[in-house]
Structure formats: structure tokens, C-alpha cells
Chain A
Amino acid sequence: MTARLSLRGVTRRFGPVAALDGVTLHVAPGEFLALLGGSGSGKSTLLRVIAGFEAPDSGTVQLDGADLFGVPPHRRPVNMMFQSYALFPHMSVAANIAYGLKREGLPRAEITARVAQAIAMLRLEGMETRKPHALSGGQRQRVALARALVKRPRLLLLDEPLGALDANLRERTGFELRAIQRESGAAFVMVTHDQAEALALADRVAVMDRGRIVQAGPPREVYDRPSTRFIATFLGAANVLEGTRTEDGALDCPGAGCTLRAEAPLPEEAAAVALRPERIRLAPEPGENTAVGTVEESAFRGDSSLLLVRMQGGATLRVSHAEEDGAPPPRGATVRLAWDRDDVVPLLP
């Protein structure tokens, strides 16, 4: 199966800064990909390169195998939902949605039918004649989505689609976005800085840092097996433990006062491992992959408590203690922490 979108070695420089540095990425038809990164990671530039607003200095962008080099934005079968929504303030909701179809020169009857369909799909009935300034944030977001989707793009680009919504609306709109993506069958590429959003919505997450894609994979894999220290701390704030690799492939970590052993021997160059707070449990017995520390702080979080445990070697570990496992140990208690080999994730420098 050919990829819907293929980027190969895409580089874009602004002066001395490489906003994109050799990005290679493939998106399958119907796939929902999230580009996750902090500000300045290059994710928005990548979106603008795909849409045609920025030309790459080198590398290729292909859509269904056809090179998009030199194709201006208005001739690309790709549509974008802008972070600001970019709704035309002088046009009604219906005129905004019809705008792109009119540019295609479709017959009026077809435009009317497709606009009505888009309005029904995004539950905008009754809003047709309103101007954008008379809409709520959530309604604007849906108009922007309708306006891009009504063109039936092969690929839809979304720039922080939930960024302008308040927290209440985000979760619901996120589910709606997912449903619409399945219904439309288009491939979605979404840019976000919010890791929870990326993990929840996407089929695949590509983490970007300083113009490069540092890891791409299904959300669970990227979360469970971060490949670098950057991803481990950016996604879900894992504990990063440093040490020296022993000859048999474990990590001797003086800060935690123990030796951490993974399922397989650590790679030669690994000098740190990640350990998720929720994978650490309290253990009655000493043994492999256990260490002792003192509870310094404890914060109740509803379904769990977050403990800060000062280890004997001086390092502090974040430990998530589930409520169903009973009351958490009090401040000042000495605890023995344990984890499985499977949860020790080697990090590359």
C-alpha cells in the first residue's frame, strides 16, 4: 500500500536556524497522525510545508506518490484548519463553508447540498446566516473544520485544533474530532503541544524536537518505550535515572542506591533509563529492581496519590500510588520501591 503522504529528508532553514532538519515521515490513507512538540520544535513549519505555504530547501513532499514541489497551496488537494481558525469575518457561516467549493467552480446545487451536509455533520444547523463573531469558540472551531472538510481533502492538516477551546470543551471536541476523522476517511495530520491530546486522539504520534522527528509510533509504544531522555520527560514526566552500565547490561545507579535491570541487556551507549511513576509499587521484600527511600511529600490526586520519595543515594523519585492499593504511606515513612524488568526503559543520549 502506498503512503498518502511521504516526506523525505525535508529541510527548511530560516537564516542559520534549521526549523526542519531532514524530516522523513509517512502517513497512511485514513491515518490520524499527531505531530507533538514544544514551541520552536518545527511542527508548525512542517504543517506549512505540507500545505504549500513554505517551500522546503531540500527534500521531497509527495501526496499519493505525486511530487508536490512547486504546486501552490490553492492547487493542493490538502486542506488546513488554522490555529486561529481564520474564519472570514465578513462572510456568514454558510458562505465560509461554501468558499472553497465556489473556488472549484462546482454547480450551485452541488455546493448547496455539500454545505448542508457539512453543516449537519458538524451540528451547525441554525447557524448558517451568522457571522463568525456571533459564534462561541466551540462553534467557530466546528465551522473551521467544516470549511476544510467540505472540500473532501485527501489529507487534512490541523494546527492545534483544540488549542483555543477551554478545558471543558476539549475532551468532548476531541472525541468528536476522532469520530469525524473515521467518518470522513481522510488522513489527518494534527499539530499539538499537548501530549494528552496527542496520545488520546492519534493512531500514531511523531515527537518533534529541534526540527527532527525523534520518535514515531503508536501512542502506547511512544509512552511506554520512549527512546530518548527528551521524550521520556516530555511525555508523562517519567523518572530519569542516570548511572553507569555494568558489564552484564544493567544500570548501576548510585542516586537511587540500586542496580536497574531491564528485560534485555542495555545497549552499549545507554547511560540512563526511564521509569514511569505509575509502574513503581511498594514492595515488602528486598530483591532485584528494588530500592529504599523516605516519603518526602505526598499529593492526593483523586484516583491516586503522587509521592516524592528521597532515595538513599540522594535522587528523588516520583511514585504514583493508586487509591485502590490502600492508603499511601505517610510523610516520613521509609518505603521499599519495586518495579518490573519490563518497565525499565533504556534511554539513548
Chain B
Amino acid sequence: MKALLRLVPGLWLTLLVAAPLALVAVLALSWQADGVPPYEPPWAGQGLNPDNLRLLLEDPHYRDSLLQSLVVAALTGGLCLLLAAPMGIGIARAGRWRNVLLAAVLLPFWTGFLIRIGAWIGLLRDEGWINAVLRALGLTQDPIPLLYTDGAMLLGMVHAYLPFAVLPIFAAATRLDPALEEAAADLGATPGHSFLTVTLPQLLPALAAAFLLVFIPAAGEYVIPELLGPPDATLVGRVVFQEFFQNRDWPVASALALALLALLTGPILLYQRLGRAG
């Protein structure tokens, strides 16, 4: 019984987590081919193919997609922190309203992010709600293009990932000892000063965890750039889809996935260390 409990999930994870990731690495070193499936593995005769990975470094299209993804993910993480820090702290200090407010943050997270993106599409369109309001106020004659811009994409990303960022900050803020800020005030610190010198340093691990919790999935995001972003926002998630489904170049798509994973290994390990410490 004891062995079975370990064996079954172990086999499942080996087959559906470890083996697929190993396959991605194999594919990244394989050859594109006409056929089904459209690749030839290194052991089929041609040996290892270093070109896919080399292409990522040499072709600006791929290189920039990786860089752009990291920049967008970092911006999303940063903007989420700016909102999530006061929200997490505020909810932690909300007394008996704490659970209601927490539910208010989490409920959109459970509503499905496609729906929320759909709402933004409706709001940001040329004939959408925001442009209608702007026109009604006489601020503009012609609609301002809002949808399919970098701004819309960032807005959607922040909206989708904000609840992820609030949770760890909230959890850490509830563990803060309120007596510490009182002690700081007693020793002459203004509220702002005691926040900067007492509260913030204690929340740093949680802030870092919140940032990474957003940054890691955002770096590979596909749906939001596709639905809200401009066509030239070729983030790596989109390029993987293009290579895979349109160009049917599975080896290059795998190489891109591998590169993304390699870039995220540091942040992932850091996040797991923060998780254990917290």
C-alpha cells in the first residue's frame, strides 16, 4: 500500500512531467522534416542539430521575442507590485472585513481570465465604453486607438495577474507584529518613516515572491498579447505558437520553449527558495 501510494503518482509524474520536458530538449536538437510528425530525431541518422538553438541567438526575431517577453513580464510584475502591496497590507489590516476583501480580490481570479480580457476588449475598442465616455466628455472627437496596443496588453496582464501578487503580500502582512510599528512610532518615526524602515524590510521576501509569481507565468503568456496586444508584440509565447502551428517548425518551437525555461530557471529557483523561507 505504502509503495503503491508512491509508485502511482511517481509514474504519472515521470510520464507526464519529466518525459515531456526531456522530449522538448530532444526536439530542440532535432531536424525539421516533411512528414508526420514533422521532425527527425537525432538518432534517425543526421545526429544532433545545433542550428535551432544557434538560430535563437543569431536571428533578431527570436532573440528579441525572448528579450521583449522578459521586459513585459518585468513591467507586469512591477506594476502588479505597486497595486498589490497596498492592497495586501490594507486587507491584512482590515479587521473583520478581511475575509470579505480577500474574497473580493480572489473572486475575479476564479471568474476565468478570458472573460476579464473580453471585458477589456469591450471597454477599449474604438466604439467601446472608454472612448464613448471620452467623447461624451468632449475630450476627443475621433476615437483614440486603445485596443491592440502595448498599453492594452500591459493592462490586461496586470489585471489577470494582480490577485497572484496580492496573496503572498497579504499572507506576510498578517504575520507582521503591529507592536513593531507602534514601537517605531514610540521612538519618533513618522508613519511614512516607520513603513519604510520597519514594515517594508519585513515584507521584502513576500514582495519578491509576489513579483516572481507574476513574472514567471507572464514571461510565457500567449493569450493576452494575442487578444489585446499589437500584432508586432511578438512575445515568446506567441512565437512558439506561430512556429509550431503555422510554420510547423517543431524543433524551433521546442528550442524557444527550452530557451524560455532556461531564462526562467533562476527566477523559479529563487521563488522556490523564498517559498520555503516564508
A adjacent to B, CB under 8 Å: no
Q: Which residues of B contact A (CB under 8 A)?
A: none
